[in-house]
Amino acid sequence: DGGITQSPKYLFRKEGQNVTLSCEQNLNHDAMYWYRQDPGQGLRLIYYSQIVNDFQKGDIAEGYSVSREKKESFPLTVTSAQKNPTAFYLCASSYHFGQGGAYEQYFGPGTRLTVT
Amino acid sequence: GENVEQHPSTLSVQEGDSAVIKCTYSDSASNYFPWYKQELGKRPQLIIDIRSNVGEKKDQRIAVTLNKTAKHFSLHITETQPEDSAVYFCAASRNTGKLIFGQGTTLQVKP
């Protein structure tokens, strides 16, 4: 299960606190992504980054922030502005899309965040 | 906006039977269609994908078909086994790298 890692596996926070989730990859992938997964639902895109120092909002970016200072790392901060932060967070990476379209995304093991 | 609808949400089959999951996409510019399998508590993993220049792709017991005119694609699993039990997600993407996922199908294969 190497290649893309997330830490920690479980995270507990009090309401009102910001929390940062780690995502690291050694696959030499250009693009990285953050998804949120709620029970019985699909994966919803929070943010994605196609190159270092650049990122775009996904479908549910409100209350989240990211940075991409290194190719290998794409941390996600869940801020106190996120109304329902308790969820399973998945990070993914892929090669930059080419003329043939997108490439396979490889997922990390996920971080389960619980905010009380 | 971009949308992917996936059906059914749950599917129960007897071991050895076939299973079919269908997805419909809204963006006609979509050209890449992967299928992911997610076992309970684990990460999604790609099981098969297809690009828009191909109508069908097969890998052992798994096949995917694509109908670009109707904007739908399907996953076919033959000779199902208990270890096929998982949640399956379809997705669609155009030339952006951004995947739009369906809502998922929980497949249960009964021994």
pLDDT tens, position by position, A26-76: 999 999 999 999 987 789 999 999 999 999 999 999 999 999 999 999 999
- DSSP symbol at B84: G
pLDDT band at A108 (very low <50, low <70, confident <90, very high): very high
Q: Give me the numbers of helices (H) and strands (E) for chain B, helices first please.
A: 0, 11
Contact B101, B3 (CB under 8 A): no
Question: Closest Cα partner for B25 from B86, B104, B102?
Answer: B102
Residues in A closer than 8 angstroms to B96, CB to CB, are 97, 102
Q: Cβ of B31 and A101 within 8 Å?
A: yes
pLDDT of residue A1 exceeding 60, the answer is no
Q: How confident is the model at residue A99, as a pLDDT?
A: 59
Selection from A50, A56, A48 nearest residue A31 by Cα: A50
pLDDT at A2 over 70: no
Q: How confident is the model over A14-23, as a mean pLDDT?
A: 94
Which positions of chain B have pLDDT values less than 50? none
pLDDT per residue over B57-71, tens digit each?
999 999 999 999 999
Closest to B3 (Cα-Cα) out of B71, B56, B105, B63: B71
Q: Which residues 40-79 of A have a C-beta within 8 angstroms of B?
A: 40-45, 48, 50, 58
Q: What is the pLDDT of residue A97?
A: 66
Inter-chain residue contact A102 with B99, CB threshold 8 Å: yes
Looking at residue B98, its pLDDT comes to: 85
